[in-house]
Structure 1
Amino acid sequence: MTYIHFIINPVSGDGRHSLSDLYIRQFFPADRFKIRADYTLRKKHALSLTASALEQNPDIIVACGGDGTINEVASCLIGTGVELGIIPLGSGNGLASHLNIPHDIEKSLEVIRDRRKIRIDAGRINQHYFFSNAGVGIDAMVIKKYEHSAGRMLFSYIRAAVASSFEYKAQPTVVYFDDRVIPIRPFMVFVSNSNEMGYSMSLTPDAMLTDGRLNLVLIPELSFIEKIALGYHILNRSVSRFKKAQHHLVQNLCVEMPNRIFTDAQIDGEHYKLRTNSCRISVAPAVLTVLV
C-alpha cells in the first residue's frame, strides 16, 4: 500500500481553491493507498507539518500550494528518499509550470497517482534551499511589496514591480564565481534553477532543473527607459536579447554587499531578510525526486 501525505495551504491563490481531504480520496482507492492530509495555518507551518509527516514514513508527501509552500515541503525532503508531489494552487506556480504539472487539480492528482518521477537539482543560498530561483536585487523588493498587497494576482505583482523600479537603490556589490571577481551596482542579481518565475514570465528560459548548474543573471543599474525595455523582455521571455544583462552558468558563487549589514532576498517567491551581507549560493545536483 502506498502512503501519501498531503500538506495543503488553504489560502494559496487567495484561497480560491476548494481542495479537501474528502475530495482527494476520490482519486485514490482505499485498497491501494493510505491518505492523510494536514492544513497549514501560517507561513513556515509546512516545515513543521512535513517534519511530523516524515515520522510516519510516507512514500510521498504532496505540497498543495504555491512556490513558497512547495519550497517548505521540498526543503524537508532532501536526503530522505521520500518523493515530492505537487498540486499547484498558488498564483504564479513557476516550478509546476517548468515540470509540466497541470494547474487543474484533478489532472495534477492523476500525476500523483501515476507516480512517474524524475530527480531534480536544488539551489542553496546560505542555509536556505530554493528550487525555482533566488535573488538579492530589485526582485527582493518586488516580492516584499507583493506580499503586502491586497491580493496575490498578476496585477498586484506588476504594480509591485513598477513601484519597486522607482524606489530601488542599487548597492555596491561584489560577485565571485569561477575565479572571477565582478564589482557591480546591480539592479538585479538573479540565480535560477528553473526556467520560469511564475505567471509565464522568465529571466532564464533555457534553465534546466536537471543539469547540475544554476543560471546567473547580472543586470547593472538601469535608466528609466532601460527598465521599461527589461520589463518588455521579461514578459516576452527574451531577456537574452537585453544587452545589459550578463548570463552565466555556475555551480557556486558568492555575493557580498560590503556596505550592508543585512540582505533582502527573495527565495522561491518569498521575502527573506538574511542576517548577513554575504550570500553563498550553490547547486546540489539530483537531490530530490519529484512526481511529474
Structure 2
Amino acid sequence: MKSKIQKLLFIVNPGSGNHTIDFKKEIKSFFKAKEETFEIYELPKDFAIVDLKETIKQSKADRVIAVGGDGTLKLVAECLLETGTPIGIIPAGSANGMAKELRIPLEIQESLTLTISGKPKQIHAILINGELCIHLADIGFNAYLVKKFDELQERGMWTYAKATWHAFWYHRKMDVEFKIGKKLIKQKAAMVAIANATQYGSGLQINPDGKLDDALFEIILVKEYAVMEILKIWISKLPWNPKKIESFQVSSLKIITKHKVHFQVDGEYIGKVNEIEAKLISKAIYIIAGPSV
C-alpha cells in the first residue's frame, strides 16, 4: 500500500537573524523534485497569533516547519501545543539554540531533508508567567544581555560579544528567594536560568543535567558573576564550582526578587518582573530532531 504524500507548511520569519539566504527560494527549489506538497506562509510585521493558528488549521499540514530562530519556534509551538502535529526547524536565527540542541543541521539542504525524513520526538515545555518556554528562560544577567543585543542594529557573534561585555559591566546582582521542597533559598545572584534544554545558542552549556523528555526542568542559580567560571565551562567543558553555580530539579517553582529584574524567554526579551511562576507542561509538543538525538 502506497504511503500518504506528506504536506508541509513552512512558517517563515523574515525578521530572523540570517539574511544571507533566500529561504522561500531554497524551499521552492528543494521541493521541485519531491513528491511532498508544501505551502509557505511569511509572517507579517504585525500579526495576531489567532491568525497564525487559523492559517495552520486551514493548511491541514502533516508537519509545520518554523523557519527562524528560537522565537519563531516558540510561536509555532504555541499554535500546536498538545495537538500531536510535528514541528520542524529550519535554523535561520542569530543563535539557533534549540536547533543545535536537537542537532539539526545548519546547512539549508540538510535541514530541509530532515523536515521530510526526520522522526518526531515528544518533549515537554515550561509555562513561565504565562509564556511558553521550549528552550531556555532566565532572569538577570543573560536577560539584560538579550535586551542589549536587541537594541544593537547588527547581528552575529561580534554583536553578541559587545552585548555581553556591556552586560558584564553594567548589570547588577539580584536578591532572589525560592523554595526547593521545604528548604527556603535566599541568595544574591547574577542570574537564574529556568532550563528546559542544556545549552544556549552561543554554545555555553548551562544545564548539563537537562533532558527534554523527562518530567522535570532545572533551575540554575548563578551566585556570582565569576567571569572566569563561566568561561571555564564554555571553553574547557569542565564542571562548574558549586559555590558559585548551583542546579536544582523541579516540576514547578515560584521565584521572588526584591526589585524588578530583566526577564527573557527563548531569546525574546519580555520586560522587568519581580515574580516568576514556572510549571512543567508534560508531553507538550512533537518536534523533529536530528538523527543522533
Q: Does 1:52 align with 2:50?
A: no
Q: Give 2:262's aligned amino acid.
A: D
- CA RMSD in angstroms, aligned pairs only: 2.2
Q: Give 1:33's aligned amino acid.
A: E
Q: 2:283 aligns with which of 259, 270, 286?
A: 286
1:132-189, Cα deviation, whole Å (9 max, x unpaired)? 1000111110000011113221121122112111211223221223232111121010
Residue 255 of structure 1 contacts residue 279 of structure 1 at CA under 8 Å; is this kept in 2?
yes
Q: Give 1:77's aligned amino acid.
A: L
1:206-241, Cα deviation, whole Å (9 max, x unpaired)? 32111221121112244xxx3233234234444534
Between the aligned partners of 2:203 and 2:114, the Cα distance in structure 1 is 21
Give the structure-2-normalised TM-score.
0.89
Q: Give 1:149's aligned amino acid.
A: L
Match of 1:159 in 2: 162
In structure 2, relative to structure 1, the CA distance for the partners of 1:65 and 1:237 (3 Å cut) is: farther
Q: Does 1:108 align with 2:111?
A: yes
In structure 2, relative to structure 1, the CA distance for the partners of 1:196 and 1:259 (3 Å cut) is: closer
Equivalent runs, 1:31-42 vs 2, <5 Å: 32-42=35-45
Between the aligned partners of 1:82 and 1:194, the Cα distance in structure 2 is 21
Alpha-carbon offset, residue 205 of structure 1 = 2.9
In structure 2, relative to structure 1, the CA distance for the partners of 1:232 and 1:183 (3 Å cut) is: same
Residue 28 of structure 1 contacts residue 113 of structure 1 at CA under 8 Å; is this kept in 2?
no
Alpha-carbon offset, residue 271 of structure 1 = 0.5
Q: 2:271 aligns with which of 273, 288, 292?
A: 273
Q: Does 1:148 align with 2:151?
A: yes
Residue 259 of structure 2: SS of its match in structure 1?
coil
Residue 202 of structure 1: SS of its match in structure 2?
coil
Residue 13 of structure 2 contacts residue 68 of structure 2 at CA under 8 Å; is this kept in 1?
yes
Q: Give 1:202's aligned amino acid.
A: Q
Q: How many residues align?
A: 284
Q: 1:188 aligns with which of 172, 191, 196?
A: 191
Between the aligned partners of 2:126 and 2:288, the Cα distance in structure 1 is 19
Q: 1:215 aligns with which of 214, 218, 222?
A: 218
Which runs of 5 or more residues in structure 2 are unaligned?
none
Which runs of 5 or more residues in structure 1 are unaligned?
none
Q: Give 1:287's aligned amino acid.
A: A
Residue 136 of structure 1: SS of its match in structure 2?
strand
Residue 46 of structure 1 contacts residue 72 of structure 1 at CA under 8 Å; is this kept in 2?
no
Equivalent runs, 1:68-217 vs 2, <5 Å: 68-217=71-220
Q: Write out the 4+ residue segments of structure 1 that deviate beyond 6 Å after TM superposition.
A: none
Out of 105-114 and 231-240, give the one that drifted further.
231-240
Residue 47 of structure 1 contacts residue 73 of structure 1 at CA under 8 Å; is this kept in 2?
no
Q: Does 1:12 align with 2:16?
A: yes
In structure 2, relative to structure 1, the CA distance for the partners of 1:32 and 1:50 (3 Å cut) is: farther
Residue 40 of structure 1 contacts residue 46 of structure 1 at CA under 8 Å; is this kept in 2?
no
Residue 184 of structure 1: SS of its match in structure 2?
strand
Between the aligned partners of 1:173 and 1:201, the Cα distance in structure 2 is 23
Identity of aligned residues (%): 25
In structure 2, relative to structure 1, the CA distance for the partners of 1:29 and 1:80 (3 Å cut) is: farther
Give the structure-1-normalised TM-score.
0.89
